[in-house]
Amino acid sequence: MSLALAPLDPRVEVEASLPCRKFDPDLWFSDSPTELELAKSLCGDCPLRVECLAGAVERAEPWGVWGGEIFERGAVVPRKRPRGRPRKEDLARDAALRVEAEARLAANGLAASRSAVRLAA
């Protein structure tokens, strides 16, 4: 059985405690990098964060925030870049954030190898 299909803990009041149910759902699918970072931060205390992330990885979600990670074209990205050519310091920060995103996925048992989850460059 996959982690995404594991039965929920019956003690969890699902609707009342999920941030994606409390706030505007469009926040999790925004084009604004700032709004996506807000959505990621709201996922931090979610009781279903790990299951949500596992399901998104299995489905290769095309976009949005799932389990506290940003997905773009089916890959986890450390942050959404604004339009235009990135600055050199942004590229360096993206490299550091990519390592951090890989560590978070590994901590949740979702990225034992790079082939398990594709991380966007």
C-alpha to C-alpha distance for 111 and 91, rounded to whole angstroms: 23
Residue 38 sits at the vertex; the CA angle it makes with 37 and 39, to the nearest 5 degrees, is: 90
Q: Is 45 annotated as a binding residue?
A: no
Identify whether the C-beta of residue 110 lies closer than 8 Å to the C-beta of residue 95: no
Query: Annotated binding residue at 20?
Result: yes
Order of strands across the sheet that contains 75-77: 63-66, 69-72, 75-77
Under DSSP, the state recorded for 120 is P
52 is in an annotated binding site: yes
Does 101 appear as a known binding residue? no
Residue set of the binding site for [4Fe-4S] cluster: 20, 43, 46, 52
User: Binding site: residue ranges?
Assistant: 20, 43, 46, 52
